[in-house]
């Protein structure tokens, strides 16, 4: 049902770039001069994760990276892959000892982004994350918590802004809604991302 809702929301947005590309000016031909080869249409970006917190004797530290590569189909419309790698150090005070788990999550996805006006853009992304989670099983002799892996699909839809910060660098901030997050999941369906392009 959530996938159906994502498709209902995303379908008109997927048609938007095709409809708006008919309104391009003659500067696009200069911008996409094919004599420069393939790489002049590429842009690179990504984000960095750093988070820590704790509650009720449990604490969590997270750090990770999420690089992305965009290919400009038109001056406003880009598509490309996005990767993520996240390390989590989880600790839980169990009275006489502290149990811990070192978790590694990774994911891959594909995105499309369209600059609607100025520096504002809409962003659609579909991907899958391979996540490692601590279980309630018995702690081993090294005080390590046993873990399990699961695959989770994500379907993000949202908008943001990209601003130049000098030279060839830019910065993104965007808010996404994960339409495929299960209703009983403890995580928020909203994802706020900051990045550099």
N residues, the chain: 197
108 forms beta bridges with: 83, 128
Nearest Cα residue to 155 out of 104, 105, 109: 109
> Would you say the C-alpha torsion 176, 180, 183, 184 has a positive or negative sign?
negative
197: number of Cβ within 10 Å? 17
Give the Å distances, CA to CA, from 59 to 87, 95, 103. 14, 14, 13
37-82 confidence digits (pLDDT tens):
778 889 999 988 888 888 888 898 999 999 999 999 998 999 999 9
pLDDT number for residue 26: 46
Position 133 pLDDT exceeds 60: yes
Task: Encode 70-95: b = buried (16+ Cβ within 10 Å), e = exposed.
Answer: bebbbebbbbbebebebebebbbeee
Position 139 pLDDT exceeds 60: yes
117 forms beta bridges with: 120
167-191 confidence digits (pLDDT tens):
778 899 999 999 998 888 777 889 8
The predicted model gives 112-120 an average pLDDT of 94
């Amino acid at each position: 049902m959530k996938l159906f809702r994502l498709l209902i929301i995303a379908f008109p947005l997927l048609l938007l770039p095709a409809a708006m590309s008919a309104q391009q000016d003659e500067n696009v031909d200069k911008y996409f001069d094919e004599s420069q080869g393939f790489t002049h249409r590429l842009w690179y970006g990504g984000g960095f994760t750093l988070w820590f917190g704790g509650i009720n004797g449990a604490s969590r530290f997270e750090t990770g990276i999420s690089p992305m590569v965009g290919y400009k189909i038109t001056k406003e419309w880009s598509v490309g892959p996005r990767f993520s790698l996240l390390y989590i150090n989880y600790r839980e005070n169990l009275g006489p000892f502290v149990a811990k788990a070192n978790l590694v999550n990774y994911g891959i996805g594909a995105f499309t982004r369209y600059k609607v006006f100025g520096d504002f853009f809409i962003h659609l992304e579909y991907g899958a994350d391979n996540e490692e989670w601590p279980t309630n099983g018995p702690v081993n002799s090294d005080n390590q918590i046993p873990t399990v892996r699961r695959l989770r699909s994500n379907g993000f839809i949202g908008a943001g802004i990209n601003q130049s910060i000098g030279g060839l660098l830019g910065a993104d901030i965007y808010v996404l809604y994960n339409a495929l997050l299960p209703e009983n999941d403890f995580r928020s369906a909203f994802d706020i991302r900051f990045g550099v392009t």
